[in-house]
Homo-oligomer: A and B are copies of this chain.
């Protein structure tokens, strides 16, 4: 194992900023498949993410079967229909038009769970805030998200799902908590501006900081 401390120069730094600026939540995919070794590499990079007490509580479930994908698609359709009823009329059309999921086109789809109380980590650091386990799983998928963009792949987070039904459909251990469902594939287009901003749904704001 190479243990020479890396130095990240100005060029890397500039490109890393470009990576952050060009990472998108992707919902429109081309149909070409993702090579198995590429997916395996992304998953192994995800395991480098920080985790509370080194607990590595993330659990990835690749959803490959037609039955599994149909269950998630039905779940999304029901949850999305309910979400639409909560929207003011003016926003509804736009909201529907945003095509909130790449569930029909994405060649790779996976669910992310978090083990509720893993033995690994021996409980360190999570006594007062057990939600740091879920936060660790989120950092794993965020790592994968950035690594995917580096190789030209796009990832989309499908959050409009009933988590209880999603867990039930995927037949996972009882002590796994559902974090999210993800679509991965080759994006139809690379975009600098988020789709929600391009569609006029919302604008990004700069960050304000309080001081105490």
B residues in contact with A146, CB < 8 Å:
16, 146
In the complex, A126→B86 CA distance in Å?
12
B residues in contact with A16, CB < 8 Å:
16, 19, 146-147, 150
In the complex, A63→B172 CA distance in Å?
42
A105 contacts chain B at the CB level, 8 A cutoff: no
B residues in contact with A50, CB < 8 Å:
23, 25, 142, 145, 157
Chain A 26-61 per-residue mask, 1 if CB under 8 angstroms from chain B, else 0: 000000000000000001111111101111101111
A134 contacts chain B at the CB level, 8 A cutoff: yes
In the complex, A110→B195 CA distance in Å?
31
In the complex, A12→B22 CA distance in Å?
15
Q: Please determine whether A20 and B61 come into contact, CB atoms closer than 8 angstroms.
A: no
A202 contacts chain B at the CB level, 8 A cutoff: yes
Nearest-neighbour CB distance to chain B for A120, whole angstroms, equals: 6
Q: Please determine whether B20 and A5 come into contact, CB atoms closer than 8 angstroms.
A: no
In the complex, A145→B1 CA distance in Å?
23
Nearest-neighbour CB distance to chain B for A42, whole angstroms, equals: 10
Q: Report which of B8, B132, B201 forms a contact with A15, defined as CB distance below 8 A.
A: B8
B residues in contact with A46, CB < 8 Å:
207
Q: Please determine whether B44 and A20 come into contact, CB atoms closer than 8 angstroms.
A: no
Q: Report which of B18, B47, B132 forms a contact with A206, defined as CB distance below 8 A.
A: B47
Nearest-neighbour CB distance to chain B for A143, whole angstroms, equals: 6
B residues in contact with A64, CB < 8 Å:
211-212
Which residue numbers of A lie inside 8 Å of B, CB to CB? 1, 3, 5-6, 8, 12-13, 15-23, 25, 43-50, 52-56, 58-65, 68, 79, 82-83, 86, 91, 95, 100, 111, 120-129, 131-132, 134-135, 138-139, 142-143, 145-147, 149-152, 157, 159-163, 170-172, 179-180, 190, 192, 194, 196-197, 201-207, 209-212
